[in-house]
Structure 1
Amino acid sequence: MRRSRERLAQQLIDQMRAQIESGKLKEGDQLPTEPQLEATFGVSRTVVREAIADLRSAGYVRPIQGKGVFVSNPSAQKAFSLTPVEIKSIPETLELLEFRMAAEGEAAAIAAYRRTAEQEAAIRAANRKMAQMIEDGAPTVEADYEFHMAIAAATNNRFYVDVLRHFGPRAIPRGQFPTLPEAHDRAYLDKVHAEHIEILEAIADQEPERARQAMRAHLLASQRRYRMLAEQQ
């Protein structure tokens, strides 16, 4: 189910990008409402929201509170100018996310049936810490990393912990791209936190496949964002 949702979100992203890049949707145009997009593309509201979030992160659209979502100039996304070091980091980031999808997807599934009460509490604590960092406007990379490390520990398999510890906080992509607006964007960080909650709830409910797919969806969403970023450079 989640994999189908991921495919639909990517299809919607591709179609909307094509409309923006071809000029069919011009800078300043207001996007249809969520219900209208659902009806037009035959997808769920969740798929629409995921696609809009990714397009927003890549600079294709921008929300205006109380008014709606509007088309941005895709080339304007380059205005923030990634540093040469950041640009060189993109291919490695995509490779790391691909690896993490395999390793951490399985780790989440294992944690769902092996985690102890104490380990579940540690995952929850890391999740609360990140929520507080977002609320305070403080850096969230360390708290994000702690959340993923707590899941690795809940597998009770030291190799998952060793692998994630090897990468350290650089496993969290936005920590490598401080120039990106989304690194400090409240709406984006709230979306990341919501994805963490889905993973946490699946582990707490001891549903391995649900946990695996929630983790995979979380990392795939990140991969989509950085792939679009690579295409803009």
Structure 2
Amino acid sequence: IDTKQASVEALALFARAGLPLDPVQIYETVELRKIHEIKAAELACSRATEENFERLREILKASEERIAAGEGLAKEDREFHLEIVRATKNGVFHNICSVYYLMGEQRLPIYFNDLERSMRSHAEHIQIYEALLRRDGNLAQALMSAHLQGAESYWKGIIEGRWTEPKSAALERA
């Protein structure tokens, strides 16, 4: 299957089926995520309801519990980011961003297998939440940009060959 010319929806299906995506496509997906989620953070500042803030608080609490148990934040990370997109009150925007997480379903647990990375991500989520709560669009955008830079750098490192896959992840696929 040539995934180079596939639609975003098809790439999500390939990823869910366990077909490997080209590392460049993964990086490009993170790049798109970054563009969309920075704007989502800005829009959420003016549109988020108390229901959105309550849901974000629940996700942050679940994240703390996962970290305390020594577990990664793959599920909570996805929920946190998609709740911010949901807070934009734009259903099409939410559907588009949901596809990015379908594409990353197999990779997020590997990314968050590093407890230190999960802890850092959680701390950044708290800062983003606080900016949203203050309805500070500029700060929320800046924090989201910095937050997603970590994922972008991680995948760029893989593409450029500066990263080696943990043995456990390689064994799972063998």
> Could you tell me the TM-score, scaled by structure 1's length?
0.56
Who is 1:209 aligned against? 138
For 1:218 and 1:126, how far apart are their aligned partners in 2? 17
Residue equivalent to 1:105: 38
Equivalent-residue separation in structure 2 for 1:210 and 1:177 (angstroms): 26
Which residue number in structure 2 is paired with residue 227 of structure 1?
156
Q: Residues 77-129 of structure 1, C-alpha deviation per residue, up to 9 Å, x if partnerless?
A: xxxxxxxx66x542111101110111110001110111111111111211221
The partner residue of 1:185 within 106, 114, 126 is: 114
Aligned-residue offset at 1:137: 2.6
Conservation of the 8 A alpha-carbon contact between 1:126 and 1:146: yes
1:215–1:171 distance in 2 versus 1, CA, 3 Å: farther
Q: Give the alignment partner of residue 156 of structure 1, picking from 73, 76, 89.
A: 89
**One-letter amino acid matched to 1:101:** K
| Deviation of 1:130 (Å) | 1.8
For 1:144-176, what per-residue CA distance to the aligned partner results, in whole angstroms no more than 9, with x for missing partners?
11111111111111122111223334446xx41
Q: Give the match's secondary structure for 2:42.
A: helix
CA distance in 1, matches of 2:159, 2:152: 10
The residue aligned with 1:118 is 51
**Between Structure 1 and Structure 2, how many residues are aligned?**
144
- Answer yes or no: is the 8 Å Cα contact 1:114–1:156 preserved in 2: yes
Query: Superposition pairs for residues 32-51 of structure 1, below 5 Å?
Result: none
User: Percent identity between the aligned chains?
Assistant: 26
Within 2, Cα distance between the matches of 1:110 and 1:214?
14
The DSSP-based 3-state class of the residue aligned with 2:89 is coil
Structure 2: distance between partners of 1:211 and 1:177: 23
Mark the structure with the bigger radius of gyration.
Answer: 1
Matches within 5 A, 1:27-106: 88-106=21-39
Q: Distance in 2 between matches of 1:222 and 1:125?
A: 23
Query: Which structure 1 segments of 5+ residues have no match?
Result: 1-84
What amino acid sits opposite 1:198 in the alignment?
Q
Q: Deviations over 1:31-74 (max 9, x none)?
A: xxxxxxxxxxxxxxxxxxxxxxxxxxxxxxxxxxxxxxxxxxxx
1:163-174 matches, cutoff 5 A: 163-171=96-104
- Residue 3 of structure 2 corresponds to none
Q: Distance in 2 between matches of 1:169 and 1:131?
A: 24
What is the Cα deviation at residue 177 of structure 1?
6.5
- Structure 2: gaps of 5 or more residues: 1-18, 163-174
Distance in 2 between residues matched to 1:89 and 1:126, nearest whole Å: 31
Q: Secondary structure at the match of 2:98?
A: helix
Q: How many Å separate the matches in 2 of 1:139 and 1:220?
A: 19
Contact 1:145 1:171 in 2 (8 A): no
Q: TM-score, normalised by structure 2?
A: 0.74
Matches of 2:62 and 2:102 in 1, distance apart? 15
Aligned to 2:107: 176
